[in-house]
Amino acid sequence: MGGISGEREISLRSGKGVLESLKKQGYDAVGIDVGADVDIRLREENIEAAFIILHGIGGEDGSIQGLLQTMKIPYTGSGVRASALAMDKELTKLVIGQFGIPFAKTVYIDCGQSAEFAAKEIVEKIGFPVIVKPTAEGSSLGCFIAHDRNELDSGLVKFVADFKRGVAESFISGTEITVGVLGDGDNIRALPALELVPKNEYYDFEAKYTKGMTDFFCPARLDENASRLAAKYAIETHLALGCHGASRVDFIVDKQNNLFCLELNSIPGMTPTSDLPEEIKAEGGTYDSLVLEILSTATCDR
């Protein structure tokens, strides 16, 4: 847990919850705040299995997975390749598009080019409103919405200075939902969809992590067909990217009940009030049962 990404504090909160749960359930568990000495800590603590709750760059991009794979330590979650794919919004879209999973109209931004060049392409291919996101950040870090050319131009100047690559998507006004996927092989399943109703314009960092800034409904208030499609697309996205053990897929449902995949989170948050724990409760499980189910999928063989 922990690490050095912009999601460090969320990772520490998630890790604290998992660690407490494991200890309560009788496991000899230790929390490792990941730094440059992580390999030494793993050896010193004689780790038999790693429960990864390391969000963001360094945790969800395949880096820690590669180390654990090399050290032959079984670990939870997706492997190196799937983690790297899921962390990259551009590659995710290119992969799921091959499987017919719908997503919003998108322009890929190379931040080595000028903000003016990026803005021109976005206006020509998408129009307004548009949401711009870094390719490899989570928790909505670095995202902004533009309703006109002035907002787009000013937002892109800072964006191209801060990030190497990005994606611009048509901003779809609708219902935001997220669907957890658990298990592997024949036991894979989608959890009940969770509906997110943020008090901000969209589910941004503040809405995600500030108490009272988002209302939740689980199961989501969707019709039967939309609920079925959400579960279907979530599992198909998980499998298309080669994910393992646990993931969470985010969608927008427009006013015509069309679903658009936003992204897959290969290491969902595990604070007691995070999305995945809320969904497991709706299924009839508990936070502790969720922790054990994820731990049971730990392996080096992916």
pLDDT in tens, 204-222: 556 565 666 778 899 999 9
- Locus of tokens 């599992």: 235
Q: Which of 2, 3, 5, 7 is catalytic?
A: 7
What mean pLDDT comes out for the span 173-188?
93
Q: Which of 14, 78, 170, 265 is catalytic?
A: 265
Region class of 101: left (phi > 0), else alpha (psi between -120 and 50), else beta: beta
Q: 98 CB contacts (<8 Å, ≥6 apart)? A: 240
Please report the pLDDT score of residue 45 as a whole number: 96
**What CATH number is attached to the domain comprising 257?**
3.30.470.20
Q: How confident is the model at residue 37 (pLDDT cuts 50, 70, 90)?
A: very high
Please report the pLDDT score of residue 198 as a whole number: 74
Active-site residue, 81 included: no
Q: How confident is the model at residue 174 (pLDDT cuts 50, 70, 90)?
A: very high
Please report the pLDDT score of residue 208 as a whole number: 60
Q: Choose one of 131, 153, 170: the last residue of a domain.
A: 170
What is the count of structural domains for the chain? Answer: 3
Q: What is the mean pLDDT of the chain?
A: 91
- Structural element, H or E, at residue 263: strand 259-265
* 161 and 192 part of one domain: no
* 15 and 126 part of one domain: no
Q: How confident is the model at residue 291 (pLDDT cuts 50, 70, 90)?
A: very high
Residues 2-18 pLDDT 10s? 999 888 999 999 999 99
Q: Which of 139, 170, 266, 274 is catalytic?
A: 139
Please report the pLDDT score of residue 157 as a whole number: 87
* 199 and 91 part of one domain: yes
Q: How confident is the model at residue 203 (pLDDT cuts 50, 70, 90)?
A: low
- 3 in a domain, yes or no? no
Question: CA–CA separation, 299 vs 142, rounded Å?
Answer: 33
Please report the pLDDT score of residue 273 as a whole number: 79
* 32 and 141 part of one domain: no
* 68 and 94 part of one domain: no
Q: Which of 204, 269, 278, 302 is catalytic?
A: 269
Residues 66-112 pLDDT 10s? 999 999 999 999 999 999 999 999 999 999 999 999 999 999 988 77
* 197 and 236 part of one domain: yes
- 300 in a domain, yes or no? no
pTM of the model: 0.90
Buried b / exposed e over 58-94, threshold 16 CB at 10 Å, is bbbbbbbbebbbeeebbbbbbbbebbbbbbbbbebbe
Q: 117 CB contacts (<8 Å, ≥6 apart)? A: none
Choose between 113 and 174: higher pLDDT: 174
Region class of 26: left (phi > 0), else alpha (psi between -120 and 50), else beta: left
Active-site residue, 139 included: yes
Q: Which of 250, 275, 278, 279 is catalytic?
A: 250
What mean pLDDT comes out for the span 119-127?
93
- 302 in a domain, yes or no? no
Question: CA–CA separation, 153 vs 161, rounded Å?
Answer: 13
Active-site residue, 283 included: no
Torsion of CA 293, 295, 296, 302, to 10 degrees: 120
Could you list the residue range(s) of the whole structural domain that residue 12 is in? 8-76
- Give the dihedral sign, CA 227/193/97/254: positive
Active-site residue, 250 included: yes
Tokens for 179?
């669907």
* 95 and 236 part of one domain: yes
**What CATH number is attached to the domain comprising 16?**
3.40.50.20
Is there a cis peptide before residue 192, judged by omega within 30 degrees of 0? no
Q: Is the pLDDT of residue 193 over 90?
A: yes
Q: Which of 195, 204, 236, 263 is catalytic?
A: 263
